[in-house]
Amino acid sequence: MKTYALVLSILAGPALASSGDAWDRFRADVGAACLALVQGPGTATVEVNPFGSVSYGVAVVTLSSSAGTDRMICVYDKAGKTAELSAPFDG
């Protein structure tokens, strides 16, 4: 039984690994999807977490304008390739 589990873990290894190019594309996709959700005047920056979680990409979105700075969280569904933006944090 232990041998069977070991063989399965070895076979699953390549399927779970991602190339550097794939992670770069993932971060670019998350950044673009999050940036597209930003409403309002000002300059938006998106700081993408390098890997996210198993199911989601995560980013901090900052919108700077003459009225001040708003910080929001963007959550990107890896399977659905859709993003949602939180309301701004207070303060």
> pLDDT digits over 32-62, tens only?
999 999 998 999 999 999 999 999 999 999 9
Q: Is the pTM of this model over 0.85?
A: no
Domains of the chain by residue range: 2-85
Name 63's bridge partners: 44, 70
For the segment 54-82, the average pLDDT, to the nearest whole number, is 97
CA distance readout (Å), 76 to 38, 54, 68: 14, 11, 26
Q: How confident is the model at residue 91 (pLDDT cuts 50, 70, 90)?
A: low
Which is higher by pLDDT, 14 or 39? 39
Gap between the Cα atoms of 24 and 17, Å rounded: 14
The single residue listed with the structure tokens 């979680």 is 53
The single residue listed with the structure tokens 């199911």 is 55
